[in-house]
């Protein structure tokens, strides 16, 4: 068996001693674990104000997300739930399932209630809080805990898995402090970029609501100053054509070939590709700049920015008449998607058909106003994409540092 390294690949100047191997929980003074509790056991219920409840819903990597729909407890519930074990600034919170492995620190001493699917660690005085938080994010700890998790889809871990885990740590508090501070500053930068990105997305959502007519109105709430004419209602199928992609048999999808086969997952999280050598009619290909619409599993419009590909059956290619601008139509379909999502409250699987889309009544302005709107949103989308790339790069950099600065 390969011997584990006794010092990390990358470390601060002035530190050369081997790291010490010890039980992970030997770095901890106290573990707070309230899994299994509920307000009903106290004859009480959650509220909409008071002490914020920390759970797997709002404990993200590096921060507590106060923007998500949160639960709160009043002062009586807080006292009965937490007792004398109050969460303090710097304490480390770890999500134990769904998702497993998110790590954040308590940001202040305002008081929090620790709820389901999360535990908290109070570090020993000689263990730096920031360092311990990053130790829990290190590949060796994350991979070991995930390998020992149980529970199928919603994998989870208990304290016995933590108790078994060994970890190497610097013997000196000063090295811990420097490592912890380095990652704390990196996390703060990541959170700042995440908030900027979230704000831009919220701004776009607001513009989509205000720059397209709603509730039977013939004009939008917000528009460019030089335009005043009413928008015209048309059936979408009168000004656009939705073309079905080709349905492939599994043995027709190759590991390599002349053309990539574009599937729904390639727009989101799936970087793997199938290929085809088939020569098909023009309507079965998507070229750079074409407008497409995914309608299975996840749905919504996209402008394809890659090379020429064959598109799969679960994607429509949208061919536009002279009455529609491409960038405007992208946002028109985005606004329609937002309305569909808000009408279901996220509780229903949305299914859209080609017939639904073609019979949909849409409001459209003259082509000049369309181009103005399309250009405005294109610039906003480009800014969002730029911030997303910066954020992804920072996360990748942090991932690399975790691999090199922990063992």
Query: Are 222 and 237 contained in the same domain?
Result: no
Last residue of a domain, one of 364, 383, 399: 364
Q: Whole-angstrom Cα distance, residue 94 to residue 134?
A: 11
Q: In sequence order, what are the residues at sequence separation of 6 or more whose Cβ sits closer than 8 angstroms to the Cβ of residue 22?
A: 166, 167, 168, 169
Query: Are 191 and 101 contained in the same domain?
Result: no
Query: Are 241 and 292 contained in the same domain?
Result: yes
CA pseudo-torsion sign 246, 247, 249, 250: positive
What pLDDT does residue 339 have? Answer: 85
What pLDDT does residue 3 have? Answer: 57
Q: Cβ–Cβ contacts within 10 Å for residue 65, how many?
A: 17
What pLDDT does residue 349 have? Answer: 62
What pLDDT does residue 154 have? Answer: 59
Structure tokens of 60?
């993200």
Domain, as residue range, for 62: 20-169
- DSSP per residue, 241-265: EEEE-BPPPGGG-BSS-SEEEE-GG
What pLDDT does residue 347 have? Answer: 46
Nearest to 294 by CA among 253, 259, 330, 252: 330
What pLDDT does residue 68 have? Answer: 84
DSSP-assigned letter for residue 110: S
Domain total for the chain?
3
Structure tokens of 260?
């990539």
Structure tokens of 203?
């701004």
What pLDDT does residue 4 have? Answer: 65
Are 373 and 331 in contact by the 8 Å Cβ rule? The answer is: yes
Spell out the per-residue pLDDT of the chain, length 407, in tens: 455 678 999 999 999 999 999 999 999 999 999 988 889 988 999 999 999 999 999 999 999 998 888 899 999 999 999 999 999 999 999 999 989 999 999 999 999 999 989 999 999 999 999 999 999 999 999 999 999 886 655 568 989 999 999 999 999 999 999 999 999 999 999 999 999 999 999 999 999 999 999 888 999 999 999 999 999 999 999 999 999 999 988 888 999 999 999 999 898 877 789 999 999 999 999 999 999 999 987 889 999 999 999 999 999 999 999 999 999 999 999 999 988 887 665 445 677 899 999 999 999 999 999 999 999 999 999 999 999 999 999 999 999 999 999 99
Is the N-terminal amide bond of 99 cis, ω within 30° of 0? yes
Query: Are 222 and 269 contained in the same domain?
Result: no
Q: Cβ–Cβ contacts within 10 Å for residue 259, how many?
A: 20
Query: Are 42 and 160 contained in the same domain?
Result: yes
Query: Are 12 and 32 contained in the same domain?
Result: no
What pLDDT does residue 274 have? Answer: 93
> Measured between alpha carbons, how far is residue 155 from residues 133, 148, 150 in Å?
21, 9, 5
Global confidence as pTM: 0.86
Query: Are 184 and 123 contained in the same domain?
Result: no
By three-state DSSP, how is residue 168 classified?
strand
CATH assignment at residue 56? 3.90.220.20
Query: Are 315 and 286 contained in the same domain?
Result: yes
Nearest to 311 by CA among 355, 276, 269, 270: 276
Nearest to 311 by CA among 295, 297, 322: 295
Query: Are 180 and 205 contained in the same domain?
Result: yes
């Amino acid at each position: 068996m390969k011997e584990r390294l006794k010092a990390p690949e990358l470390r601060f100047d002035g530190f050369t001693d081997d790291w010490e191997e010890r039980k992970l929980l030997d770095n901890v003074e106290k573990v707070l674990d309230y899994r299994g509790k509920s307000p009903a056991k106290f004859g009480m219920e959650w509220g909409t104000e008071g002490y914020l409840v920390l759970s797997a819903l709002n404990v993200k990597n590096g921060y507590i997300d106060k923007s998500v729909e949160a639960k709160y407890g009043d002062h009586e519930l807080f006292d009965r739930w937490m007792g004398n074990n109050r969460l303090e600034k710097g304490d480390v919170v770890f999500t134990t399932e769904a998702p497993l492995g998110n790590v954040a620190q308590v940001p202040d001493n305002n008081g929090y209630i620790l709820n389901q699917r999360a535990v908290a660690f109070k570090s020993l005085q000689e263990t730096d809080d920031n360092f311990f938080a990053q130790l829990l994010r290190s590949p060796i700890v994350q991979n070991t805990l995930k390998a020992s998790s149980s529970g199928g889809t919603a994998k989870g871990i208990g304290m016995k898995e933590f108790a078994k885990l060994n970890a190497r740590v610097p013997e000196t508090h000063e090295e811990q402090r420097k490592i912890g501070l380095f990652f704390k500053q990196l996390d703060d930068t990541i959170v700042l970029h995440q908030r900027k990105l979230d704000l831009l997305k919220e701004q776009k959502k607001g513009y989509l609501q205000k720059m397209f007519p709603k509730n039977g109105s013939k004009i939008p709430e917000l528009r460019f100053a030089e335009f005043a004419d009413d928008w015209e209602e048309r059936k979408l199928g009168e000004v656009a054509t939705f073309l079905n992609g080709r349905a492939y048999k599994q043995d027709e999808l190759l590991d390599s070939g002349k053309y990539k086969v574009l599937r729904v997952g390639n727009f989101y999280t799936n970087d793997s590709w199938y290929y085809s050598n088939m020569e098909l009619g023009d309507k079965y290909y998507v070229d750079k700049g074409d407008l497409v619409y995914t309608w299975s599993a996840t749905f919504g419009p996209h402008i394809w920015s890659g090379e020429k590909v064959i598109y799969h059956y679960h994607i429509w290619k949208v061919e536009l008449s002279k009455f529609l601008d491409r960038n405007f139509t992208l946002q028109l379909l985005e606004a329609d998607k937002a309305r569909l999502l808000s009408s279901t409250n996220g509780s229903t699987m949305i299914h859209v058909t080609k017939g639904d889309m073609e019979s949909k009544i849409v409001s459209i302005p003259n082509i000049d106003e369309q181009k103005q709107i399309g250009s405005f949103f294109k610039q906003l989308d480009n800014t969002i994409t730029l911030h997303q790339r910066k954020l992804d790069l920072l996360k990748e950099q942090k991932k690399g540092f975790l691999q090199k600065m922990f063992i």
